């Protein structure tokens, strides 16, 4: 099942995409932590199966982020061996964890803004995980996967000077406005047979820079959820960005960082695609 939110910024309505590709309105107040905690996914699935949901006219309708503002965004750095190697970083022995401000989330096709004084704004296609049940001291990978509501595409936009050259505090380079396009859909976990078998790709102005696969993660999705639950309580609606494969500007010859006017396109198998125009803050 593909859950999404549609409409103008700040006025998004929850919806679901049915098997025939029709957009259908759902009666839930929002797709957020309360929705997941109260069994919202099951309610929508049942209503869809009973054909109770009205069809929406999709033409010209903006797609917002598939979940409303999460309680927290937790990110994993250097989680693909090839990405660590291209940036001359050591392969981590444990997941490298940082946080991203929840208000960085925008729709999958919304404008991405280069921050003022930025000269090193970079792209990162990532598999995003949305938590559906509280995860606290999870013991096994099976239990970890059971805590996941679904998956989505995330662009973990990063400003490398802010991240690496301004005191070494990653959060500063990760939390600028518009730095987390998400969506177009939240694909429920039952539709993703294996989160470690998904291709990820990204293009800038039509030139492909990233072409990876989640099978090459250093720490799997299940291990990330299990590991994080030892250090913090993961709550319904929380978002986890699981890392990016090789091909970011930081690791490329000439370091071709983003400029205003460029177009970034990204996709993950089974999760749809995004397309952003780069603007200037």
Q: Which domains does the chain have, with CATH numbers?
A: 2-49 (no CATH), 73-280 (3.90.850.10)
88 pLDDT higher than 90? no
Position 58 scores a pLDDT of 86
| 47/43 Cα distance (integer angstroms) | 6
> Count of residues for the chain?
281
Confidence of residue 192 (pLDDT cuts 50, 70, 90): very high
Per-residue burial over 132-151, b = 16 or more CB atoms within 10 Å of its CB, e = otherwise: bebbeebeeeebbbebbbbb
> Strand pairing of 23-25 and 13-17?
antiparallel
pLDDT tens per residue across span 156-173 = 999 999 999 988 888 999
DSSP codes of every residue in 180-225:
EEB-S-EEEGGG-S-TTS-EEEEEETTEEEEEEEGGGBSS-HHHHH
pLDDT tens per residue across span 22-35 = 999 999 999 999 99
| 159/119 Cα distance (integer angstroms) | 8
Secondary structure class of 278 (helix, strand, coil)? strand
Position 167 scores a pLDDT of 87
């Amino acid at each position: 099942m593909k859950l999404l939110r549609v409409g103008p910024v700040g006025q998004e309505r929850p919806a679901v995409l049915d098997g025939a590709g029709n957009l259908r309105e759902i009666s839930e107040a929002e797709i957020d932590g309360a929705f997941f905690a109260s069994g919202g996914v099951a309610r929508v699935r049942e209503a869809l199966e009973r054909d109770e949901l009205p069809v929406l006219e999709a033409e010209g309708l903006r797609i917002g982020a598939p979940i409303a503002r999460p309680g927290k965004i937790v990110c994993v750095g250097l989680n693909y061996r090839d990405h660590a190697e291209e940036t001359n970083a050591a392969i981590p022995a444990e997941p490298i964890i940082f946080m991203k401000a929840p208000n960085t989330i925008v729709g999958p096709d919304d404008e991405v803004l280069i921050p003022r004084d930025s000269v090193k704004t970079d792209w990162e296609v990532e598999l995003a995980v949305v938590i559906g049940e509280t995860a606290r001291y999870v013991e096994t990978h099976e239990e970890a996967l059971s805590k996941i509501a679904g998956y989505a595409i995330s662009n973990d936009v990063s400003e490398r000077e802010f991240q690496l050259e301004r005191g070494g505090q990653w959060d500063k380079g990760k939390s600028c406005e518009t730095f987390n396009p998400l969506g177009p859909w939240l694909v429920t976990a039952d539709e993703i047979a294996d989160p470690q078998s998904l291709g990820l790709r990204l293009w800038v102005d039509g030139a492909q820079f990233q072409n990876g696969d989640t099978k090459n993660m250093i720490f799997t999705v299940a291990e990330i959820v299990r590991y994080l639950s030892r250090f913090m309580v993961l709550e319904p609606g929380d978002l986890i960005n699981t890392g990016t494969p090789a091909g970011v500007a930081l690791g490329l010859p000439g370091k071709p960082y983003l400029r205003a006017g460029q177009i970034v396109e990204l996709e993950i198998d089974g999760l749809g695609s995004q397309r952003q125009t780069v603007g200037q803050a």
